[in-house]
Amino acid sequence: MSLRRTSLAALLGGFLLCNAAPVLHAEEGDYTPLQVLLNLISPPKADHPVTPDQRLGPYPLLSNPAGFADGFKPGAFDQWQTIQLAPETGAICGNGSPYKFFLLRSAQTTNTVVYMEGGGACWDYGSCTGQSGIRGARNPNGIPDNYMTINNPGALLVSPFVGRLNLLDLVNLLNGESPQLQPLKTQQWNIVYAPYCTGDIYSGDRVAVYPDPSGQHEPLIWHHNGLRNERAMLAWLKDHLPRPGQMLSTGCSAGGTGSLTNYAARRKDMGSPRSFLLDDSGPIFSAPAGGSSTEYPSAPLFAQIRQAWGLDAANGPLNTLQHYLPTFDRSDMGSIYPALSAEFPNDRLGHTHFWQDLNYSSYSYERFYPEIANAPDEATKERLIHQLWAIDTSRLRQTTDGLNNFGGYFPQYRSLNESHCTTIVDLRNGDIQDQHLELIDFINNVLDGQGRVLHASEASDAADRAKPVNPLYVLVNQLLSNGL
């Protein structure tokens, strides 16, 4: 015992010497330097595991069975770990292969980012099989164990929320200028990366059987299992890690939408003292039942996905969402914004997307409006899509403007990924120049602000389009356009 104490004392002395600078910006959920050292030697355990009540209900929190090799190494801090989920948890990828997620554990804090990966959506044979020419969903073949460390161009779309390196200001540094962007504090948090393999914005619960329109292949059996994957991941986090002092739910595209739809349940079942939401480019536009598509352009999309993903099933996803959000109106999924705002008045919530988005917008309208699908040229198609997107975005902006704790940040354009996702690759060029705002201002306002969450919208894309060519964006766009 005394030898261990002596060893610990010596280690502490060395550790504190190497960390001579005082801990700055220590926040709720952070460990002290002594605790960090102790964590390295004796990793902290779960302190708010799944309760018996939480194992009940239509979407219970289910754990891996005893003895199941989940791959978790408690002491492997700052190393990406693959966490396996057994079939007993209810988790599965769309193609029937096992679901897994990824963890970058921090010794410094309990604070946690849960990042949901983006990647389209699917609701029929063509879109769920990854058939070329149709916008589909990511990972139709499931998730390899080494997913986080495979060099593939899709990984270039990584968000600064995912990883430890502060590469945010490389552009300035490469140009010999001084750093300007503030570091993103969540880069030192625990990072949970939820990969996307169900094509249902992490919200569905239905085994679909999609016939091949050509008749040449067997029907596709596809598991829209996103909601149960989320529940299984949450169960594991509660059973293996300390409860986060602060938790950020975020993601882009489908990951943003999934963060939005799963926020209430995750928030309540995790029970963190402080919680934040940042939905990047995954809007749920208002489309009340019976509403016309002229007034609510996303109405046809919602009719499709409600059926395809089993959203309206008895005791299904929307019923469960309403259980966690009593003021959520199941007939209009766009009511989720005011419902979240009302249910969690002390949380800071935010939504962002570009006015000129051509990706999520295409998913939303292209296959539902013949005049778009049959447009004579790309310019016409783009114009028609943006007209509908503007109607939907205007209404969403109006909705968030009326919510003090749900901010909205709507820049115009970025020459990357069809102006889709503001928080991927870097946090640049999501600026609203006429209000002297950078995207990081919005992010920091959500995470650290006081009072009304920032609301801002850009009127013109002229300044954005006048920016010089960005070689990194050119490369990323090229790689993405080559089908990778």
Partner 1 sequence: MADSAVVREYRERERFGDDVHDFFARARSLDPVARQRQADTLREELRQREADRSISAGESMNLQIALVRVTVDDPQEQADALNALGEQFRAQADQANQAWLQQLAADAQFQRYKQDERRIVEAVMAMPVIPGGMSRDAYLREQLQQAREAAYRR
What residues line the site for partner 1 (CB under 8 A)?
Answer: 7-8, 11, 14-15, 18, 37, 40-41, 75, 77-81, 86-88, 90, 92, 96-98, 104, 107, 141-142, 144, 146, 148-158, 162-167, 170, 173-174, 176, 179, 205-207, 209, 218, 221, 223, 310, 313-314, 425, 471-472, 475, 478-479, 482, 484
- CB of 14 or CB of 402, closer to partner 1: 14
Beta strands (DSSP E) in 218-259 are 220-224, 246-252
| Nearest in space to 312 (alpha carbons), one of 324, 296, 329 | 329
From residue 154, alpha-carbon distances to 41, 167, 294, 298, 460 in Å are 36, 18, 35, 27, 30
Shortest separation between residue 78's beta carbon and partner 1, angstroms: 5
Between strands 220-224 and 206-210, the pairing is antiparallel
**C-alpha atoms less than 13 angstroms from C-alpha of 197 in its C-beta half-sphere:** 23
Q: Tokens 């030192």 — which residue?
A: 188
Q: Tokens 């750093």 — which residue?
A: 179
- CB of 331 or CB of 478, closer to partner 1: 478
Shortest separation between residue 291's beta carbon and partner 1, angstroms: 26
Shortest separation between residue 467's beta carbon and partner 1, angstroms: 17
- CB of 220 or CB of 385, closer to partner 1: 220
Shortest separation between residue 338's beta carbon and partner 1, angstroms: 30
Rounded to 5 degrees, φ, ψ at 116 are -100, 125
Between strands 112-116 and 206-210, the pairing is unpaired
- CB of 75 or CB of 213, closer to partner 1: 75
- CB of 223 or CB of 243, closer to partner 1: 223
Shortest separation between residue 159's beta carbon and partner 1, angstroms: 8
> Can you spell out the DSSP letters for 131-167?
-TTS--BS-TT---TTGGG---GGGGG--TTSSS---
The amino acid occupying position 36 is: V
- CB of 285 or CB of 473, closer to partner 1: 473
Shortest separation between residue 284's beta carbon and partner 1, angstroms: 23
| Nearest in space to 108 (alpha carbons), one of 188, 184, 18 | 188
Shortest separation between residue 130's beta carbon and partner 1, angstroms: 11
Shortest separation between residue 56's beta carbon and partner 1, angstroms: 16
Judge contact between 382 and 440, C-beta under 8 A: no
- CB of 90 or CB of 120, closer to partner 1: 90
d(CA 381, CA 369): 10
- CB of 236 or CB of 410, closer to partner 1: 236
- CB of 210 or CB of 337, closer to partner 1: 210
Between strands 348-352 and 274-280, the pairing is parallel
Shortest separation between residue 74's beta carbon and partner 1, angstroms: 12
Shortest separation between residue 232's beta carbon and partner 1, angstroms: 12
Query: Edge-to-edge strands of the sheet including 80-84?
Result: 80-84, 100-104, 190-194, 112-116, 246-252, 274-280, 348-352, 406-410, 455-457
From residue 116, alpha-carbon distances to 15, 199, 251 in Å are 35, 13, 5
- CB of 35 or CB of 293, closer to partner 1: 35
